[in-house]
Structure 1
Amino acid sequence: MVELFSIPFFTFDAARSVPILATASESADSSMVLASVLLSLVVVYLASKIGGELCARINLPPVLGELVGGVVVGVSALQLLVFPGEGIAAENSLIIKFVELTTTLTPLGASAVFETQSEVISVLSELGVIILLFEIGLESKLDELIRVGPQAVVVAIVGVVAPFAAGTLGLVYLFHLPIVPSIFAGAALTATSIGITAKVLAEIGKLSSTEGQIIIGAAVLDDVLGIIVLAVVASLAKTGEVQVINIVYLIISAGTFLVGSILLGRYVIKPIYENLVGEMKTRGELLLTALVVVFILSYIATAIQLESILGAFAAGLILAETSQRSKLEKQVIPVADLLVPVFFVEVGARTNLGVLNPMNPTNREGLVIAAFLIVVAIVGKVITGFTVFGQQGDLKKLAIGVGMIPRGEVGLVFAGVGAESGVLSSSTEAAIIMMVISTTFLAPPLLRIVFRDPEPTASETSEAGG
């Protein structure tokens, strides 16, 4: 399995220690690899657009449609886009079979082509999640993160700590899962999808309300804390063991890297970037220079045993402060449209929902784990609303907690990282996916309900009439 977030096009297969490009040239026919990759991308883009369009038409986040589209074309259903491992081989891939039927590819060479094609798609997926985190950072405003009120800070911290602790401890002591997968699943519970909540609040006219401002501020902080948590647990997954000294080192290094890179960016990278872009005369100077910053910071994060996504997020925060922010946001969109769907569809394609089939007795533990994660995911966020202090009047604390429930694309990033690292079992991975889908589907209607003004009582109506 490809090591997640390695340097693009120099990713190494941990089992064979052979670079992808070397594999393509030495073990597989490069033209057949290209053919299979092209067909894979056709499947990815069709699945993402069809799924996204269907969800958009029923007022659900398109990203959920991309995930479900991936499930449909993946190992759980059509088996168009499958990946090596757990009994999956070239003969299980309908894409490889189609290439065999329509080209000169032989069954003997199909295995090498299948492995290399899967690695290339995985690398594109890794690039997609780097661009996704860069976009999230670019859309965040550092000054707003600094100015968020103490209420939002408390809500964010409780919203990270409570579900993480309850999920991890429950999986370890109730389900007797190993500590590292339990920590990873617990970490997946910490996310909050600011995009989904903000869209619903805007639709019901509550975005500028006190509750709305607390929710948005806490959700933004949740993103930052969640990315640091993700960087820490993903690094733990590489070592396969939990050591207190290592955890402390990772937390300190993640925080130091994020703060240090932002300070360096504000006083060094930002002026250099703006001056350099201003002097360039060739096309693409704004976007390509920004990607250089993204990839350098991503490399540095990887080199100090963190995750490249932390560097991508930091790059977004840095470049969001430049005068070119609006133009850069527009120019990044086509790149994100090209690569980000590969990540979400791959996550869905790798998810084997068959492990949650209740008719199979061996799957029942996975179903129970999924139910447990869903309950913890909801309760762990709902309680955050009741931690708000210093607010008077008719503040709807339940609404604040409900607004923190959806995991959305952020939760899928956790699931994708866990799947790529190999630390999650099929049942645990599927349980996390079910948790993400459930919370994202439930949150919008619940948010509309809790913000609904109560019907006046008969006495209140008579008093108003009198």
Structure 2
Amino acid sequence: MQFLDTINFSVPLLANATETVDSSMVIKSVLLSLVVIYFVSKLGGELSNKVGLPPVLGELLGGVVIGISILHLLVFPEGSTDSSSSLIMNFLQTTAGLTPEATPQVFAAQSEVISVLAELGVIILLFEIGLESNLKELMAVGIQASVVAVVGVVVPFGAGTIGLMTLFGISAVPAIFAGAALTATSIGITSKVLSEIGKLNSKEGQIILGAAVIDDILGIIVLAVVASLAKDGEVDINKVIYLIVSATGFLLGAIVLGNIFNQTFVAIADKLKTRGGLVIPAFIFAFIMAYLAAVIQLEAILGAFAAGLVLEETDKRKELQRQVIPIADMLVPIFFVTVGAKTDLGVLNPTIPSNREGLIMATFLIAVAIIGKVVTGLTVFGQPGINRLAIGIGMIPRGEVGLVFAGVGAASGALSKPLGAAIVMMVILTTFLAPPLLRFVFPDETTTATLEAASGTSLVIESDVITLTDSQENELKS
């Protein structure tokens, strides 16, 4: 995902503030931004939940409302947006004495801080998802997940590229770039929705999750190929081989590490008696893994997810899950609201003549984007009774990953404005369609479990998800 890689951290955030930017103003602007983000995420999540949709959809829509598309409360420099369009900056000028001369620097610093917090939020989200997943079950569906991922890359890439060249007369390089954007899958959005509806550890959820991880790796490799093609007219084979080897080595290394590190982590956590004795070492490990993934040019979120899978195998996993949840509740909404805030719905306006060509191409790309992922469910084998439609729909959202492809393509000059707008429209609609569609194909099912107690009485539990403590789980097993 690595969307922060494109941000220039040339403005000191809180260091040497007197030379470039008033740090107190940066703090004020960040605090106001967080107030707006938390308010809209909670309001949107509650309204979405009330109508039976995943709360994450409400957070995304809330971000759209306060972002560049509507209210301009939370805007960012990318997309040619400047400080004059930010209502938060205008509010600071009116109430806190922010001068017009200092506004651009404060705006840039505030945007960078919020973007960093958003990136941290999705890293913690994937760490939490890793903790909720089961490494053995994930490996058990590894072959199916690999097939789903490969088909989910090849089909939309091929159909999109060939279709744009034959139907619209687009030249090869921009068509390849657009086809590459169709291969993306937002693991953050999909995993969050699956977790919210209690399907993360279902067979379908495990295949979707495994395929999304593999899809993310394949997406990085595809992006490296098309970026090289757009820049130099040829593919850097050495870089592609490096990415394939490093991605494979990293994931295999994480699995091996899980078998070695588990007991060591528990032993260390047991010796720590001060506050945060369990969660702080866990985050140290997660951030180290995220850093290592980023260093070898993979996604930081993949490292965090791998760390969660490793620690899921420990005896402390349930206690750790409970301690991570409130931290995730503080940071994860920032990510989803920010994704929504950066989404410019203006490209969907058909009354603007320059949008019309993009709308026609967008219609084609959206059809390919949906069909190209839905057919992946048909490739699942050896799983009688599995919900193949749910697997395909779970791969649909492009989210921030698709926006990275669009951003790299626009920066390289490979994409025309209509084609760039078409890609953005495809990303927007697939991102917002997936959560309600997932809810639709996973109908509410009441889990009824009758447990025979030692006394011979029966206990009936009716809920979507049953959460047991470690002691309760051991007692039931016995």
Structure 2 length-normalised TM: 0.79
Question: For residues 235 and 326 of structure 1, do their structure 2 counterparts lie closer, same or farther at Cα, with a shift above 3 Å needed?
Answer: farther
Matches within 5 A, 1:96-107: 96-107=89-100
Which region of structure 1 is more displaced relative to structure 2, 280-289 or 185-194?
Answer: 185-194
Is 1:437 the counterpart of 2:432 in the alignment?
Answer: yes
Give the unaligned 5+ runs of structure 1: 7-11, 450-466
CA distance in 2, matches of 1:128, 1:30: 23
Q: CA contact under 8 A between 1:129 and 1:413: conserved in structure 2?
A: no
What letter is aligned with 1:57? K
Structure 1 counterpart SS, 2:351:
coil
1:171-190 to 2 correspondences below 5 Å: 174=168, 175-176=170-171, 178=174, 181-182=177-178, 184-189=180-185
| Deviation of the 1:190 alpha carbon | 7.9
CA contact (8 A) 1:90 1:114 kept: yes
Q: Deviations over 1:11-55 (max 9, x none)?
A: x953x7455444745311111111011000111111111111111
Residues 420 and 46 of structure 1, relative CA distance in 2, 3 Å threshold: farther
Letter in structure 1 aligned against 2:398? G
Matched, 1:137 2:130: yes
C-alpha spacing 1:190/1:368, structure 2 compared with 1 (3 Å)? farther
| Structure 2 residue 337 is matched with structure 1 residue 325 | no
2:307 matches 1:315: yes
Shift of residue 332, structure 1, vs aligned partner: 1.1
Distance in 1 of aligned mates of 2:12 and 2:223? 22
The answer to whether the aligner puts 1:253 opposite 2:249 as a matched pair is no
Residue equivalent to 1:360: 352
- 1:295-338 residue CA offsets vs partner (Å, 9 max, x unmatched): 11111122222221121111111111111111111111111111
Letter in 2 for 1:250: L
Distance in 2, matches of 1:433 and 1:130, equals 22
Query: Following the alignment from structure 1 to structure 2, what is the Cα–Cα distance between the partners of residues 238 and 130?
Result: 25
The whole-number CA distance in structure 2 between the counterparts of 1:133 and 1:233 is 22
User: Are 1:70 and 1:347, in contact at CA under 8 Å, matched by a contact in 2?
Assistant: yes
SS in 2 for 1:229: helix
Change (3 A) 1:257 1:342: same
2:205 corresponds to:
216
**Residues 1:414 and 2:397 aligned together:** no
The 3 A distance-change label for structure 1 pair 291 and 165 is: farther
CA contact (8 A) 2:41 2:337 kept: yes
Partner of residue 31, structure 2: 38
- Residue 445 of structure 1 aligns to which amino acid in structure 2? F
Q: 1:384 aligns with which of 376, 381, 387?
A: 376
RMSD: 3.3
CA distance in 1, matches of 2:406, 2:317: 33
2:75 match: 82
Counterpart mapping for 1:222-371 below 5 A: 222-232=211-221, 241=231, 242-267=235-260, 269-371=261-363
Per-residue deviation, 1:109? 1.0
Maintained 8 Å contact 1:3/1:421:
no
Please give the secondary structure, in 1, of the residue aligned with 2:183: helix
Identify if the C-alpha distance between structure 1 residues 415 and 343 changes in structure 2 by more than 3 Å, giving closer, same or farther.
farther
The 1:81–1:195 alpha-carbon spacing in structure 2 relative to 1, beyond 3 Å, is closer
Question: Partner letter of residue 311 of structure 1?
Answer: G
| CA–CA separation in structure 2 for the residues paired with 1:152 and 1:4 | 26
Are the equivalent residues in 1 in contact too, given 2:362–2:426 (CA < 8 A)? Answer: yes
Shift of 1:102: 0.5
The Cα offsets for residues 158-207 of structure 1, whole Å up to 9 and x where unpaired, read as: 344433443455456655563674255222258693564687697xxxx9
CA distance in 2, matches of 1:190, 1:91: 32
Question: Closer, same or farther in 2 for the Cα pair 1:375/1:156, shift >3 Å?
Answer: same
How far, CA to CA, are the matches of 1:167 and 1:332 in structure 2? Answer: 40
Residues 25 and 430 (structure 1 numbering): CA distance in 2 closer, same or farther, change over 3 Å? farther
Preserved CA contact (<8 Å) 1:382 1:404: yes
| Contact 2:374/2:395 (<8 A) preserved | no
Structure 1's 258 and 362: CA in aligned 2 closer, same or farther, altered over 3 A?
same
What is the one-letter code of the residue matched to 1:69?
G
CA separation of 1:255 and 1:420: change in aligned 2, threshold 3 A: same
1:17-96 mapped onto 2 (5 Å cutoff): 17=10, 19-22=12-15, 24-96=17-89
Q: How does 1:114-125 map to 2 (within 5 A)?
A: 114-125=107-118
In structure 1, C-alpha distance between the alignment counterparts of 2:403 and 2:326, rounded to whole Å: 22
Query: How far apart are residue 282 of structure 1 and its match?
Result: 0.6
Taking structure 1 as reference, are residues 200 and 167 closer, same or farther at Cα in structure 2, changes over 3 Å only?
Answer: farther
Cα displacement string for residues 367-398 of structure 1 (whole angstroms, at most 9, x for unaligned residues): 23432333223322333344345577xx58xx
Amino acid aligned to 1:289: P
Contact kept? 1:196, 1:406, Cα under 8 Å: no
Letter in 1 for 2:359: L
**Number of residue pairs matched by the alignment:** 428
Amino acid at match of 1:140: S
The one-letter amino acid of 2:190's match is S
- The answer to whether the 8 A contact 1:166-1:186 is kept is no
Aligned letter for 2:183? A
CA distance in 2, matches of 1:436, 1:41: 23
Q: TM-score, normalised by structure 1?
A: 0.81
CA distance 1:245–1:168, shift in 2 (3 Å) = farther
For 1:66-123, what per-residue CA distance to the aligned partner results, in whole angstroms no more than 9, with x for missing partners?
A: 1111110001000001111443211110000001100121111111111111111111
Whether the 8 Å CA contact 2:142–2:210 is kept in 1: the answer is no
Residues 156/118 of structure 1: CA separation in 2 closer, same or farther (3 Å cut): closer
Distance 1:74 1:23 in 2: 30
Structure 2: gaps spanning 5 or more residues: 412-419, 445-478
Greater mean deviation of Cα atoms: 146-155 or 52-61:
146-155
Contact kept, 8 Å, 2:29 with 2:92, in 1: the verdict is yes
1:319-359, CA deviations, whole angstroms, 9 ceiling, x for partnerless residues?
Answer: 11111111111111111111111111111111111011111
